[in-house]
Amino acid sequence: MLMNRTKGDEEEYWNSSKFKAFTFDDEDDELSQLKESKRAVNSLRDFVDDEDDDDLERVSWSGEPVGSISWSIKETAGNSGSSQEGREQLKSRNSFSTYAQLPKPASTYSLSSFFRGRTRPGSFQSLSDALSDVPPKSYAPELGRPKGEYRDYSNDWSPSDTVRRLRKGKVCSLERFRSLQDKLQLLEEAVSMHDGNVITAVLIFLKRTLSKEILFRELEVRQVALRHLIHFLKEIGDQKLLLDLFRFLDRTEELALSHYREHLTIQDPEKRKEFLKTCIGLPFSAEDSAHIQDHYTLLERQIIIEANDRHLESAGQTEIFRKHPRKASILNMPLVTTLFYSCFYHYTEAEGTFSSPVNLKKTFKIPDKQYVLTALAARAKLRAWHDVDALFTTKNWLGYTKKRAPIGFHRVVEILHKNSAPVQILQEYVNLVEDVDTKLNLATKFKCHDVVIDTCRDLKDRQQLLAYRSKVDKGSAEEEKIDAILNSSQIRWKN
């Protein structure tokens, strides 16, 4: 079509067209192209129905939706220079991606500012409007940060405001409090709030920024804060600082107890034993000193017993270790556990050996009730009923034997039943229960029929005996015994 035109027509075409022909004489070629593109984009609005504006997604030359957060940040991030600087930036680039670097009007708008100048709700601002009236300098907009947040960064919070914000769980820097007076005021505000978490947070800050001497001196007259610090140091296991604090406060007993707690961190038994030996001379109370001595002696015994029993078990020549292999080491076990272990594996040993139960009882002054209860549980577990019987049998000076239980025979019955003792043994010990109601309840619970029948006969309680008759098996020996008692003419029944 152009081939048929005259030279004049061609010149008129090029001069009148909105698309200029390329010449080396053109200045600011990219800027002129940008202006032409702007007009072309604006002209597209004539082809778009206003009714569909809400359904269209505006996309910038960088490919991102107009009005998105990433678009707004990119649009405004580099616009602190003058319009001349923006012009020089345009010259240094060779693509339309420079469009996103054009300066924007200065404002403190949010994302909604990109939709100003609508002719009606839902319509967008034209591209030409957005590029017009460029001021000499602009700033990036603030995106959704509340004004109250800025005060954290300006470091103008007072101690009272800071404590209140900490109590609400908000992040707040304490570094601005540099003088000792400010730090102490911050601590006093925290204490006045009666919030342990806030007090601890301030104490951590003071611990990090003050010397030990100053910190201890100031806390000595602030007992609430002092107690929080002591608790905090115990929780985090800072034994060194805790010892220094107790030493400063001249709390000798607490200092000794804190030093004693360090044994928990020592795993090697020999090293723990040696550490406990150093604790014996510390200034404990009389009662605590006795416990420390017992702890050292017990661990010393356990080390000896463990070495000997490990050897016997590995040799495989001892019957008790073959039938009942050990499930755990005895090292560092409590005294009662050690006594149970000794009653289980070393019950018959002579008193002179370290592993003898009687030796442990005398060395550590174990009460009779505790010893009998532990020995009963150990021997009943092994079903050593002869040892159980001997445990409760005593002789008087005339040689007469009598059964006596410092823990009460009702507890003996419970333990025996728990370890599946035969009915004959249960009945023997149920009969030894002195309280009649307790005896009947235990006998009924554990089906000791003879005890129930004999007790009802002795009480001459015909109704209770008749009621129990319905609980035994028909045709059994117990039913026959009940019938014989009910038919006896020698008993005068109460009811």
pLDDT tens-place string over residues 286-334: 888 999 999 999 999 999 999 999 999 999 888 999 999 999 999 999 9
pLDDT at 57 over 50: no
Cα 104 to Cα 432: distance, rounded to the nearest angstrom: 102
**CA angle (60 as vertex; 58, 62 as ends), nearest 5:** 145
273: nearest Cα among 306, 247, 240 = 306
pLDDT over 70 (residue 131)? no
Quote the CA–CA distance of 371 and 375 in Å, as a whole number: 6
Report the mean per-residue pLDDT for the chain: 76
CA-atom Rg of the chain in angstroms: 47
Residues in contact with 285: Cβ distance below 8 Å, sequence separation at least 6, in sequence order: 253
Sign of CA dihedral 164, 167, 169, 173: positive
80, pLDDT greater than 80: no
* pLDDT surpasses 60 at 27: no
pLDDT of residue 34: 47
3-state secondary structure of 175: coil
Instruction: At 173, list the tokens.
Output: 């820097």
Q: Output the CA–CA distances (angstroms, integers) from residue 382 to 168, 307, 361, 385, 422, in the order listed.
A: 61, 23, 21, 8, 13
> Helix or strand or coil: residue 401?
strand
Predicted pLDDT of residue 33: 52
Q: Which two tokens stand for residue 200?
A: 């601890």
Higher pLDDT, 439 or 129: 439
Q: Which residue has the higher pLDDT, 376 or 123?
A: 376
CA distances from 22 to 14, 90, 308 (A): 11, 18, 104
Q: Give the H/E segment covering residue 403.
A: strand 401-403
136 pLDDT band (50/70/90 cuts)? Answer: very low
Q: Mean pLDDT throughout 235-254?
A: 85
Reported pTM: 0.57
397-405 contacts: CB < 8 A, separation 24 or more?
A: 403/432, 405/372, 405/432
* DSSP at 59: B
- Dig out the tokens for 175 from the structure: 């570094």
Position 28 pLDDT exceeds 80:
no
Confidence of residue 42 (pLDDT cuts 50, 70, 90): low
Residue type, 315: A
Q: What is the pLDDT of residue 70?
A: 45
pLDDT (0 to 100) of residue 495: 66
In three-state secondary structure terms, 95 is: coil
Cα-based distances in Å from 357 to 132, 321, 378, 397, 420: 100, 17, 11, 25, 24
Three-point CA angle 345, 347, 350, nearest 5°: 120
pLDDT at position 62 over 50:
no
Task: Point out the least confidently predicted range of 101-115, 287-301, 363-377, 481-495.
Answer: 101-115
Q: Which residue has the higher pLDDT, 14 or 455?
A: 455
